[in-house]
Amino acid sequence: MESLSQHYSVLMLMLIILNGALPSCFSQTTRRFEFNVEWKNVTRLCSTKPLLTVNGEFPGPTIAVYEGDHVEIKVTNRVAENTTIHWHGVKQLRTGWADGPAYITQCPIRGGKTYTYKFTVEYQRGTLWWHAHYAWQRATVYGALVIHPRMPFPFSTPIQEEFPIIFGEWWSSDVGKVEAEMKNGAGPNSSDAYTINGLPGPLYPCSNKDTFIKTVEHGKTYLLRIINAALNDELFFAVANHTLTVVEIDAVYTKPFTTSAIMVGPGQTTNVLLTANQVPDSSGAFLMAAWPYLTSVFPFDNTTTAGFLRYKNTKGDKTKYPPKAPSTFAPEKYNLPKMEDTKFVTKFNYKLRSLASPRYPCNVPKTFDKHVVIVISLNLQDCPANKTCKGYAGKRFAASMNNQSFVRPALSILESHYKKLKGAEYSTDFPEKPLKPFDYTGVDPVSENLNPKFGTKIMEVEHGTNLEIVLQGTSFLNTENHPIHVHGHNFFIVGMGFGNFNATKDPAKYNLVDPPERNTVAVPTGGWAAIRFKADNPGVWFIHCHLEEHTSWGLASGFIVKNGPKPSQCVLPPPDDLPSC
């Protein structure tokens, strides 16, 4: 046992060093890291601009731990702006103080201040990620969070190497100013480029050298940890001439299946196996590329980020320069679906199934205690008197859940809830079904309007409640795909469909055997998704669209899970260094 323990320690240290984030104090059970939020000048697309970064890296450093580890990340804010960090997908069992969304579970970390996030990665393994959760800072403040399993992978294919593929966006403009424009009810500008691991790739100007290149050996299999950190875009990803085998989503193993491409929404992660079994041409390389899955009428970045899979021991392997980019980009040549290919996305999502094995059971609730229907909607808000609104037809854009447009309070909801503060700036009367049911996906996009109410309404449930939530899309403005992220819990996607959810017929088609388990669900364009989970993690948890423009407009809410009767079912006390507002 001692030699095995020593082997794990050495392996862990090597993995963390290779991934670029060395703990400040290495031990077997507690992993400590230091994050410094700071400005760094970065050059892309022919220009240099200051980016908000962690430790001067773009993307930020990878956090690599083992399941069961206790994790401590000391975050020092070295800029004049407020900030927070969210550990996306980490369940934060009883440690909601470390979840990170500003004014939901903590007040922001002020300039010059420090806060140490402390949590344990229990009952989780796989690919997650971390990002800033204040304003639009996650445009540049993000990185991978890898939880290595204590047991072997549930697939027999030997892996030569694993590496992250993190999609992001490059904004030539100041994203803070883009966000500020939206306060006038305007629609957002779009980014100027997509990136793979911070690099735009050769299809953009001045970017040949800013291209991600991965060298592989013929016949070997690689594990790609794919993360969509983009602010506002679902993305397709494919590698020319190669097949991808999906084995995990949102840090949960899946029944493996092969596909020519994947769709990954903002906030989602997907692990795939790729075998280097093709014969390259004289360049020795194959293009890998990502471009948007389009369901929006709003302006969008219709460009393509690309990198290369370069085979070792080929003529192209001898040069230090990137392979030549194609003169014309034909997506079908590189396995990419068309931008509007909802049919591909539907088939892809249907193939995602939990393992449902004795070792990795699928603990989907077979029944529910509480049924909630949430209508997720984009809206046109009538412009207030004596105001100028820059949205469509002189109105302002807004977004809502059950006609409630979320407003963050001045003090974190978790702190107000924990301390039972009187006069708290939130209420627990969020409507658990639409107040006025209508033909959600049949309304005229612009002539009909909801005029949502603004406020801070959330739900409250008893500890251990089996909760079913139907997320119903609408056709206001357009029938858009919405990646909805639930903090503090994984959930099971038991059903999906297009049009209006039918409470009489649709539940009969639910998958209660091996539904996919996730933390972020892509609600189909013009359709619905039904999720179930046991609300057994005490605390306050954010629910929101992971398209940042929609969250800014108010497409968010949250829920409180009350403490249970046992001490092990109660929120832990707040840490001494919890930031104050």
- Render each residue's pLDDT in the chain as its tens digit; 581 residues: 333 333 333 444 444 444 444 444 444 589 999 999 999 999 999 999 999 999 999 999 999 999 999 999 999 999 999 999 999 999 999 999 999 999 999 999 999 999 999 999 999 999 999 999 999 999 999 999 999 999 999 998 999 999 999 999 999 999 998 898 887 778 878 899 999 999 999 999 999 999 999 999 999 999 999 999 999 999 999 999 999 999 999 999 999 999 999 999 999 999 999 999 999 988 899 999 999 998 877 767 889 999 999 999 887 666 677 788 887 788 888 999 999 999 999 999 999 999 999 999 999 999 999 999 999 999 888 888 888 888 888 888 899 999 999 999 999 999 999 999 988 899 999 999 998 899 999 988 877 777 899 999 999 999 999 999 999 999 988 888 899 999 999 999 999 999 999 999 999 999 999 999 999 999 999 999 999 999 999 999 999 999 999 999 999 999 999 999 999 999 999 999 999 99
Exposure of 517 by Cβ count < 10 A (0-12 exposed, 13-18 middle, 19+ buried)? buried
What distance in Å separates the CA atoms of residue 578 and residue 543, rounded to the nearest whole number? 22
- CA dist list (Å): 243 to 11, 68, 305, 455: 30, 33, 19, 47
What pLDDT sits at residue 26? 40
- CA dist list (Å): 186 to 134, 155, 178, 382, 385: 20, 48, 10, 13, 17
Between 3.60.70.12, 2.60.40.420, 2.40.50.140, 2.30.30.40, what CATH number should domain 153-358 receive? 2.60.40.420
What distance in Å separates the CA atoms of residue 75 and residue 141, rounded to the nearest whole number? 12
**CATH topology for the 27-151 domain:** Immunoglobulin-like (2.60.40)
Structural contact between residues 108 and 132, judged by C-beta atoms closer than 8 angstroms: no
Q: Is the pTM of this model over 0.75?
A: yes
**CATH code of the domain made up of 370-569:** 2.60.40.420
CATH 2.60.40.420 in the chain, residues? 27-151, 153-358, 370-569
